[in-house]
A and B are shown apart, each in its own frame.
Chain A
Amino acid sequence: MKAKFLVPLALFLVLVGFLAFGLRLDPREVPSPLIDKPAPAFSLARLDDNSQRFGLEEMRGQVWLLNVWASWCVACRQEHPVLVDLARRQVVPVVGLNYKEVRGDGAIDARRLAPEQELAMAVERARGWLSAHGDPYKLSVLDLDGRVGIDFGVYGVPETFLIDQRGSVRYKHIGPITPESLEKVLLPKIEELKRAG
């Protein structure tokens, strides 16, 4: 047992290995249980025309992105140019899920608003934001109370879901999409799904 004195060193190195691995994990990235499962069905009012509703079935047969956004969301602002660029390249349709436009804004006491007031306010704010920063969306829908957000397991805006031709969620991106994550992760996955048909 000449090398016995090396045992603590070996244990230490193993521990360092575990810690180094742990440091690289992002605790905010909670794996979604929705991956490879059918996306939750919804029917929500459209932002461009509140009298019309939009649901998953309208996108059947297409690979598309569902991007969760709100005008009060600071990180969405950071992500937005990437989405505008993606829309310009016409790679994939992006549907916007406007999440708690009014209630999510801490500066507004939404409990004092009547439902029609809240809707009007949400439409005004969301449209204003899109005209100021560009509109990359095929269309946006209004999730005023965040119920559809809960169905999708949204816990931090922005989040983006990649949905395939059969309406299954195939990938979830948490946080703002960066040019790098778009090129290295999202676009390859989109291409793969399109090829698979």
Chain B
Amino acid sequence: MPADRFLRALRGAAFIGGCLLVAAAFAADAPTAKPLVADPALEARVLDLSHKLRCLVCQNQSIAESHAPLAVDLRDQVREQLAAGRSENEVVDYLVARYGDFVLYAPPFKATTLLLWLGPAALLLAGAGWLAIRLRSREREAAVTLSEAEHRRARELLAGNAAVPPSSKEPRS
């Protein structure tokens, strides 16, 4: 019976609407969540720096993302040292002295990392150079001109007359 179904649906909608109204009334009064940390500005710096530091246990996660105990310890170290007034660079130096450059997601630019930093650019330049040379030589190929005799032979070949002997100096592509 369609009329009955319609009434039932209407009642359901009214019930849901009522629930939403009541929930909204409560939500208006709800207290906003307290910040989880005492010093959000410091925490933001800790998080920012932690994202640049590799967790040595998981290796593909930063110490900000990792839940490994060592990552937690190192995050605490970062927080402690930043809170004590050390700069970001000093904290990074502290960790590099203990764990090496591997702890940094962005490796420093120095003699042993030259290939790493300049390699892609060198490859790009080499590729561009190779392309330029190829294009040049192709241009030269296109500029090949035929002599009068060659033109005549080409025309005769196209006309279907194959009785023409090949010219002694065929232009090679």
* Residues of chain A having any CB pair with chain B under 8 Å: 27-28, 30-34, 100, 103-104, 106, 146, 150-153, 155-156
In the A-B complex, list the 6 residue pairs whose CB atoms are closest, starting with the nearest.
Answer: A155-B56, A153-B98, A33-B100, A30-B102, A153-B99, A146-B73
What per-residue 1/0 map shows which CB atoms of B93-106 lie under 8 Å from chain A? 00011111110000
| Chain B interface residue bracket vs A | 10 to 19
Interface residues of B in 137-170 (CB under 8 A from A): none
Q: Name the contact of B100 in the complex, choosing from A27, A31, A100, A150 (C-beta under 8 A).
A: A31
Contact of B121 with A by CB under 8 A: no
Contact of B61 with A by CB under 8 A: no
Decide yes or no: A155 and B69 within 8 Å by CB, A27-B59, A150-B77 being known contacts. Answer: no
Given contacts A33-B99, A150-B98, 15 further A-B contacts (CB under 8 A): A27-B59, A28-B59, A30-B100, A30-B102, A31-B100, A33-B96, A33-B98, A33-B100, A146-B73, A150-B74, A150-B77, A152-B98, A153-B99, A155-B56, A156-B57
Contact of B42 with A by CB under 8 A: no
Check A33 against B97 for contact (C-beta < 8 Å). Answer: yes
Q: Which residue of B lies closest to A103 (CB)?
A: B69
Complex contacts, B118 vs chain A, CB 8 Å: none
